[in-house]
Structure 1
Amino acid sequence: MTGPAVGAGTGPARAAQEPGPTEASLPGARPADPWFRRIDWEASIWVVLLLAPILAVARSGLAWPVRAGTCTAILAFIALYLHTVNVMPAWTALPEHPSVRAQVAPVSAPLLGLVILALATAPVLGWWTGFFLPYLMAIVLFATPLVTGVSVVMAVCTTACLAALGLSDGEEIWPVLGSSASCAAITIGRISAEVDERRRSTDRQLAAATEREEISRDVHDLLGHSLTVLTLKAEVAQRLVRLDPERAEAELAEIVSLSRQALADVRATVSRLRTPDLAGQMEASRTAFAAAGLRAAVSGRVQAVPLPQREVLSWALREATTNVLRHAGASQVEVELEAGRLRVRDDGVGLRGRAAGNGLSGLRRRVEGDGGELRVLSPLPPRPGSAVQGSQGRPGTELEVEL
């Protein structure tokens, strides 16, 4: 139901005027998607059905101010609905065990506006105002947890059907029943999406458990073999110290070589298991920026980020911190964290004159593997309220991860 924020990945007009590489020139990077690819067509295409009441009202014999007002309300409903479904966070972006306020806050204002616009058409459409019901319930279903969404849909549809039966002569029940049937179909789609998400979550957990088991086996095999060989050679060297010093020295040299190789093998294996912790990485980045003398503004709560998103955002923050400290030459850095999004801005030298390493390419693969998108922009796109802005000669860089 949700789609990426329209315009989030496009560069500013100023970026086209300043020289230097943009996101498209980075190894492993790609240009921002055009606007039509950032629209959630699966949710947006259904507004075509709202052309029917517009045409019906336009061709009616009502006075033109009434027709104009009703058609305007329907068009405003379409515009607000399209905006809402393309920018609102999905239920997967909610924190674990969200409060009622956390569930309702993102959609309460747009839902209120949509309800007002729908009711504005009631004097003309009558019970056919129920035509708007599936659009409202779709937003509720895909922006809230499953239990909350289904409960609201059942309550609203039941109330609408009972009202149509009790307040009309019975004929008006059909448009309400039709809308309720559409809501039921949308509910089935929401349940299917929930099942798919849980299956993906289970697959991720199984993959992590399998990897941990493999690493455990690798560490056991490495240490078991290496320590056994080292022990045997140490015993041989101990016996040869007085009998044959030269052979003992050779054995000791082999022990040193084997120890270094074993240490390298263990480090390589353990690095596969070293998953960064988002809370720890936030604190580590804040400390590193302070130690480097940067003015850092770090905002956001780790608790607001759903658990499945924390690992990839931790990797992204680690990579962004490394790039700022090693390459940016910045004086200010800004870190913004929220559910499904991480943005890091610096006012440094930008990306001109240096080639990106493997870090961004690897991070992009990791982000896209979780169904997200990585955007790296230089010069900085202007953002109202941000204290970090680019300047001539110091265009800055923005790294943004959206899940």
Structure 2
Amino acid sequence: MAETWGCQARRYAAVLVWVPLLAGVPLFALHGGSAQVLGQIAILSTVAAASVATVLTGRVAALVVLGVATVVASTQGEGWMTPWTLLAITAPVVLRGWPLAVTVVAAAAGSATAMWRVDDVGETFWIGVAGVLLAGGATTAYLRLLEANAALRCTRAELARVAVAEERERFSRDLHDLLGHTLSVMVVKAQAVRRLAERDPAAAAVHAADIERIGRDALVDVRRAVDAVRAPRLSEELEGARHALYAAGIRSEVVPFGGELPEPVDETLAWVVREGATNVIRHSGATQATFALTGVDGEVELTVADDGVGGPLEVSRRDGGLEGLRRRVAAVGGLLTYEPADEGFRLVARVPVT
């Protein structure tokens, strides 16, 4: 997971801020001739450069160079112990787990050995060793907190992206299922108006009034879909399917289910009825359609069957249509199957009642 620049900058600052101090303290303990002083300055320069390289590159090789330079620096006598603390602070940048723990403990042990060689074991000795351990532990905790925060920010952004994608899919599916059925009925009724306009104006007027009513209902449905409050009822959809099929010249039969259905099941099956009726009107060329509800082993099964030409020639893979309907049914633990055949089309949805 990629880190943000802000996280990297805070990680760099948490370690690099100590480089001038911890690598600079031994400058006050320079001693010997000019050649020795130059050598000591070179050692401190190596310590500082290796620390910066470890932080910026994250390479273990740079940390190894820092460790070697720290050991060399500690041989220069009293006042040269701070590079051990710098080693303990830098190690968490590139190491994890037991390698990190071993490195921090080794830095504390190296500091203790170096101080023991130049001074007696006393209060300063224990403070120095504890300081190395504390520096390594505190820096490790801070860096891991930065990484955890970066991971949480990335996760939050991903959750927001998924939520937007799911909402777009829901809206697309709802519009397809709502308007696909409604517009199909309006087209059928408009065709009826065109056929009846001359020979039966009264019947044409009835169909025209139905088109107006259906259009008004469609506006309400779209508003509800936008507000995510559209919840169709199975009984209403069965009645609407019967009227739509009648207008299209298709006989319909409904075999009801003898019992109450939980609201999620009722709503899901209502969408199945709507999509099934739309497909019968649009694609089947059928003369009869049947909607049968039966209870089977703790499940309710809805079957939509017609005697047409076999249903859609190609099942859409878009968010709407039968694939969108399959996802609706799966969301409540059910299963949707469909069987196009020469003698008609059979759509079956099985949903657990509990």
Q: Same fold (TM over 0.5)?
A: no
Rg larger in structure: 2
TM range (shorter): 0.3 to 0.5
TM-score (norm 1): 0.40
Higher relative contact order (CA 8 A, sep 6+): 1
